[in-house]
Each structure stands twice: as C-alpha cells, then as structure tokens.
Amino acid sequence: MKVAVLGFGTVGVGVYEMLAKAPGFEQGPVLVRKGKEDQPFKVSSMEAICADPSVGAVAEVMGGVEPANTYVAMALRAGKHVVTSNKALVAAKGIELAAIAREHGVSFLFSAACGGAVPFLHNLSIAALSDTIEALGGILNGTTNFMLDAMQTEGKDYGDVLRQAQALGYAEADPTADVSGLDALRKIMLACAVAYDKLPVDGFAREGIESITAADVTDFQSRGLTCRLVTSGGEAGESVYAYVEPVLFPAGAPECSVQKNFNMAKYRGENAGSIVLMGQGAGRYPTASAVVRDLYGIGGVPMMTERCREVIADNASCVHPYYVRVAAKDKALFAFAECREDGENLRGVTEPMAVPVMHAVAEGIRKEGGSIFFAAME
C-alpha cells in the first residue's frame, strides 16, 4: 500500500525514510507548502493525493489543528486510512474525524500522538475492551523529562536545556506547549478517550515546569526527592479526572530512573494490575516508528469508538500533599504540615489538598503578581 506523508518536518522525514523499509508499504507523495516542491516526490496539492487511487493511506505529521483537520477529513472521505502523530488535532477534532472514518470504512489511528515510540494508546485501546482501566497516565512529555533530568543530574540551566531539547527535535514547534504542560495534557485527553470513551475538553488542572528555579532543585534534592512532570487520569463518576503537574518522587521510585527524553506510560487494569511501558517519548525516529507501527494496525481495533463523547474533567476527588515555595507573606494561604523560611521565601509541605484547590490558589498568587512553585508529593 502506498502511503502519502503530510508534512516533511522532524517526524515527516523519519516516516518517509522508514516507509522505504516497511514491508507491505511504500513511499507515496509528500505534501509540502506551495513553492517547496524541490524534489519530484514533493507535491503541494492535497486534492491530487486524494484523487490518486494508488495511495491507500495517509500519514499526517504536519502538526496543528488547521489545515491538518481539513486535509485529514479530505483523505478519510476519499477512502484513505489515516495515521497521525498530531495530538492537537486529535484532542480538538478526534471525535468528528473518527466518525468520518467509520462512515467511509477506513481506520483513523493516532498512537504516535501520545508517548512517542511507547505503544501506549495501541495497548490501551485493546486493554479497554478486555479489562477495566482503573487509572492511567505517567510521564508523557519527553522535552520536560529531558530538561528536568539535565537540571537535576547535571545542574544545567533551564534556558540551556530547553534550547538543547529543541535542537534534538524533542520540543513542539512552540515549546511553550511542552513546558506549560499543554502537550502532556493533550496526551492524557487522548488516553481518557481511548480508555473510557470520554474525551475531557475542559475542567482540567495544568501546571508545567516554567516556575522551577535552580534553588528549587537544590532544595528538593536536599530532601532526597526527584521532580518529574506527571499526567494523571481515571474515571470519576460520569466524567474523568485529568490533570498535569510536577510530582516529587522519593529515591528508589521507578519514575526517578526515567532519564533524558524517555516517557513512562502507565495504566492499571482491574485484572491485569499495573502495566508500565517505557521508551523514547520524543524525537524523529521514535515518533516516526509509532506512525509506521500504526500502519500495521489498519483494519484492527479503533482508537476512538462511536461511544466516545466530550466531558468536563472532574478533579475534585484527587487529593495529595504538595511541596510549595512561595513568598513568606503568602504563608496563610496554605495549611502547612511543615515549613521553613528561606530568605524572602518559604518552603514546605502542605496537608493533603484537592488538586483543583492547589491549582486555583497558585493562579490567584500569580494574578496578584506573586511567584510560586509547587509539586505534588508522591
């Protein structure tokens, strides 16, 4: 089957190269912007790709919601299977696109949109049929894991490690999506849709790593703790809980051994128990490998079923103690189990707090021009 590739950036180049060696598949045309058709296999007409009967599948790796959404819908309506690494697209338009795919009898698969090379959504789509998924999530952003690892093990500066992650092709076109937790949030949205047929579209709690300082790293390392950006999801009555926040793990926790651009995706099945999948979560070939792997899933278990519907996330029942660094004047906003002053700042660990309460307090402090770093205590 000939596969057209939409986009020729970091992942697109990897997919195109891998197609040359993928049994049962062959390289098709590559869609690029008008004026960029500098090689015979590059084209700028999506209409021509859709009209080409030799193209059986499309790999969309251009990123962003539009024009990817228009092109994917065109391909599905033309009877082409679609595989994509585009989490922004699936989070925003996945339910509609999956419906178009069903209507036209083709597959719409997006395992590469969550976890890079880690076969998380693929396994989850099958496990959701055979078991009850009690919880899911883990470390799902390679850029921030790479950054946190380098800051903690090599004492590197935030700006330097971000630039390095961009140069290595881990970060999104706009790396704000990575460091703000938005990229990880989109991934937990997709995982909830696959596992629970519930796509959370609002009501999230999201905290990235933008507030972390070298002094924070020194302090929690002195406590024997390691920081990771973690996503959490699970059923919450008619809805799901879905949030992203930094978490501090004690030495010996498996998360502490997740290094560089690696991800650690987890789910717990009622019968299977805990399943942990680890591998490179970002980068050209790891992500391309997942796109190509999805081609072999064509005709198999769908990732987004006709039962999937939008819900508002409900995090009210999720409660943990938090490590907090705030200005001493903000002390009264928290019930600290222990705290100590550190210059103008105060650092401590709170009594257990509900996730939405912690995130709302932090938002309030920032609205007033204040500064805070917080991380859940595992």
181 binds ligand HSE per the rule CB under 6 A:
no
139 binds ligand HSE per the rule CB under 6 A:
no
Whats the size of the chain, residue-wise? 378
143, 180, 280, 315: residue in contact with ligand HSE (rule CB under 6 A)? 143
Least separation, in Å, of the C-beta of 141 and ligand HSE? 4
Least separation, in Å, of the C-beta of 12 and ligand HSE? 14
Specify whether the CB–CB gap between 362 and 370 falls below 8 A.
no
330 binds ligand HSE per the rule CB under 6 A:
no
Using the Cα atoms of residue 331, residue 371, residue 378 and residue 251 in order, give the sign of their dihedral.
negative
Choosing from 80, 87, 93, 187, which is the catalytic residue? 187
Q: Which stretch binds ligand HSE (CB under 6 A): 19-27, 139-147, 206-214, 217-225?
A: 139-147
Pattern of binders to ligand HSE over 297-326, x per CB under 6 A?
------------------------------
Alpha helices in the chain (DSSP H): 10-19, 46-51, 68-77, 87-103, 120-130, 142-153, 158-167, 176-179, 182-196, 214-222, 284-295, 355-367
Burial class (CB in 10 A: 0-12, 13-18, 19+), 221: middle
Q: Which residue, 137 or 203, is less far from ligand HSE as judged by CB?
A: 137
Least separation, in Å, of the C-beta of 112 and ligand HSE? 8
Q: Which helix (H) or strand (E) holds 59?
A: strand 55-60
Q: Which residue, 61 or 362, is less far from ligand HSE as judged by CB?
A: 61
Q: How many CB atoms lie within 10 A of CB 157?
A: 12
CA–CA distances in Å: residue 222 to residues 215, 252, 295, 325, 372: 11, 15, 47, 14, 19
Least separation, in Å, of the C-beta of 138 and ligand HSE? 12
- Which of 359, 358, 337 lies closest to 347 in space, CA to CA? 337
Q: Which residue, 209 or 242, is less far from ligand HSE as judged by CB?
A: 209
Task: Name the residue whose CB lies closest to ligand HSE.
Answer: 143
Least separation, in Å, of the C-beta of 143 and ligand HSE? 3
Take residue 316 and report the two structure tokens written for it: 């009210």
Q: Which residue, 107 or 141, is less far from ligand HSE as judged by CB?
A: 141
Total residues in contact with ligand HSE, by rule CB under 6 A: 12
Specify whether the CB–CB gap between 299 and 343 falls below 8 A.
no
Q: Which residue, 141 or 345, is less far from ligand HSE as judged by CB?
A: 141
Q: Which stretch binds ligand HSE (CB under 6 A): 38-46, 165-173, 341-349, 364-372?
A: 165-173
d(CA 312, CA 62): 28
Take residue 308 and report the two structure tokens written for it: 């999937």
Q: Which residue, 145 or 226, is less far from ligand HSE as judged by CB?
A: 145
d(CA 51, CA 80): 10
Residue with tokens 């210059």: 343
d(CA 119, CA 138): 13
Window 231-290: residues binding ligand HSE (CB under 6 A) = 281-282, 287
Residue 67, C-beta contacts closer than 8 angstroms, at least 6 positions apart? none
Confirm whether 187 is a catalytic residue: yes
149 binds ligand HSE per the rule CB under 6 A:
no
Least separation, in Å, of the C-beta of 183 and ligand HSE? 5
142, 181, 233, 246: residue in contact with ligand HSE (rule CB under 6 A)? 142
For binding to ligand HSE (CB under 6 A), which residues are involved? 116, 141-143, 170-172, 178, 183, 281-282, 287
Residues with a catalytic annotation lie at 187
